Amino acid sequence: MRDVAVLGVGMYRFGMYYDVSNATMAREAGMAALRDAGLSFRDVNAAYVGHIFAQVMSGVRVMKEFGLTGIPVQRIENASATGSAAFREACLQVAAGHADVVMVLGFDKMTTMIQQSTQGTAPENMEDAILPAGFFALWATRRMHERGMKAEHLAKIAAKNFNNGALNPMAQRQADTFITPEKVLGARMVAWPLTTMMSCPMGDGAACAIVGRADLAKKLRPDRPVVRVTASDLQSEKYARGHLFMGPVVGPAQMTIDTSKNVYEEAGVGPSDLDLVQVHDAFAIEELEYYELLGLCKVGEAEKCIEQGDFERDGRVAVSTDGGLIARGHPGGPTGLAQIWETTLQLRGEAGKRQVENARIGLCHMMGGGSVCVIHILQRD
């Protein structure tokens, strides 16, 4: 990725907002990002909108909130990886020289889905017979069988993420006491061995990133470090034995391995250079698997590394520093951009109580419906 920087970031805190519209959340996150960049909407050359549960023309509709300046607007959708995929398109635009400043705006409202849901009592299709929690639980059960993983390992990951989230004012779930693995294990069972506290919540929210030419970053905000996007890759699933063709699939492992290999090569860094990592931890088993698939630890050693506290905020490499999907929340479209928000603040040294000391290089990883993997590497100059 040539000379692309994150100029600004903004968020509308993830939560349950029955009375707040998508347009309001998106506008506030977008204006926050513009203010953070030191720009006005007049300076934006193009916009990408990440929105999953979309009406027709929902990209253009929400951009009207900011003003009618004639810029190209496109909506990108890739399930949970929607915001990350939109961010990638914006970076490519800048890298290609088509635009100097691009807005990437993600928003979604799962409370609307809950209200509209009929709470059916039977699947309508073969594909409907298993819930997402079930897919990931199947991954966990297999890991228990193959590697001796225990529910306690997953509980430790979730507890870490809750405690990180408690330091993040934008996080949806704010624990008022220190969360222990025992508390996570004692929560209601969703799909054995995953409890509610090992699973991300439903929610609403918005997040925005302004990306642009790296030299602009220096000009606009000479007071702070430039955060560059040094690598971006997106891959879809590739056939392997054991691939599931019916319904959504769960993270074909090779897809994350291949995507991360590409970004490490593009950025010229290795996993041991990373100071912080955000992963798709919709369920705690995912975070555990991604430690290995992203090369943060050797295959088969995730359990040992969790026991050692390697991925805590003050550990070898901090993972899910903002609380991850589990505590920060996962409304859909904005989630990947919330990762960019967190990583950008961390690399600027502006992450407050959850700041990772001297953070220089961060990685953001999202999965879309198990079938798409998007990874970015951000680096401070």
Partner 1 sequence: MTTATRPRVPIKPGYFTIPDDPGLPPKLLGTKCQDCGEHYFPRRAICARPECLSEKTSDVELGPRGTLYSYTFVHLPLFGSSNLEHAEGYGVGQVDLPEGPRVQLPLAGKQGEFRIGQTLEAELNTLREDGGSDIVIVRFRPVEAGR
Single out the residue of 372, 357, 366, 368 nearest to residue 338, CA to CA. 366
Sheet strands (E) in 214-304: 227-236, 276-278
174 burial class (0-12, 13-18, 19+ CB within 10 angstroms)? middle
Report if residue 121 touches partner 1, rule: CB under 8 A. yes
CB of 240 to partner 1, least distance (A): 9
Report if residue 272 touches partner 1, rule: CB under 8 A. no
Q: Encoding tokens for residue 176?
A: 């008022």
Q: Encoding tokens for residue 228?
A: 């560059």
Report if residue 241 touches partner 1, rule: CB under 8 A. yes
- Would you say 142 or 304 has its CB closer to partner 1? 142
- Would you say 16 or 113 has its CB closer to partner 1? 113
Among 135, 283, 290, 311, binds partner 1 (CB under 8 A): 135
CB of 292 to partner 1, least distance (A): 17
Q: Measured between alpha carbons, how far is residue 194 from residues 3, 13, 82 in Å?
A: 42, 26, 25
Report if residue 73 touches partner 1, rule: CB under 8 A. no
Binding string to partner 1 for residues 32 to 71, with x set by CB under 8 A, is what? ----------------------------------------
Q: Other CB atoms closer than 10 Å to residue 221's CB: what's the count?
A: 17
CB of 328 to partner 1, least distance (A): 22
Given a contact cutoff of 8 angstroms between Cβ atoms, the answer to whether 79 and 52 are in contact is yes
The CA distance from 330 to 343, in Å, is 16
Q: Encoding tokens for residue 66?
A: 């900011």
- Would you say 25 or 154 has its CB closer to partner 1? 154
CB of 306 to partner 1, least distance (A): 21
- Would you say 96 or 126 has its CB closer to partner 1? 126
- Considering only CA atoms, give the Rg of the chain: 19
Q: Encoding tokens for residue 145?
A: 């069988």
Single out the residue of 42, 46, 34 nearest to residue 7, CA to CA. 34
Among 176, 177, 242, 314, binds partner 1 (CB under 8 A): 242
Buried b / exposed e over 137-170, threshold 16 CB at 10 Å, is: bebbbebbeebebebbbbbbbbbbbbbbbbbbeb
CB of 239 to partner 1, least distance (A): 5
- Would you say 245 or 358 has its CB closer to partner 1? 245
Query: Across-strand partners of 11?
Result: 207
Q: Measured between alpha carbons, how far is residue 240 from residues 99, 249, 260, 288, 365 in Å?
A: 39, 12, 18, 21, 21
Among 56, 68, 96, 126, binds partner 1 (CB under 8 A): 126
Among 107, 139, 264, 290, binds partner 1 (CB under 8 A): 139
- Site size for partner 1 (CB under 8 A): 37
The CA distance from 76 to 79, in Å, is 10
Among 123, 186, 268, 300, binds partner 1 (CB under 8 A): 123
Considering only 158-166, 186-194, 269-277, 292-300, which stretch makes contact with partner 1 by CB under 8 A?
A: 186-194
Q: Encoding tokens for residue 81?
A: 């990886």
CB of 339 to partner 1, least distance (A): 27
Considering only 2-10, 103-111, 134-142, 167-175, which stretch makes contact with partner 1 by CB under 8 A?
A: 134-142
Report if residue 150 touches partner 1, rule: CB under 8 A. no
Binding string to partner 1 for residues 188 to 217, with x set by CB under 8 A, is what? xxxxxx------------------------
- Would you say 219 or 241 has its CB closer to partner 1? 241
Is residue 166 left, alpha or beta, with left meaning phi > 0 and alpha meaning psi from -120 to 50? alpha
- Would you say 184 or 210 has its CB closer to partner 1? 184
- Would you say 20 or 138 has its CB closer to partner 1? 138
Report if residue 115 touches partner 1, rule: CB under 8 A. no
The CA distance from 334 to 48, in Å, is 12
CB of 49 to partner 1, least distance (A): 29
Could you list the residues that contact partner 1 (CB under 8 A)?
Answer: 119-126, 128-131, 133-135, 137-142, 145, 188-193, 238-239, 241-247
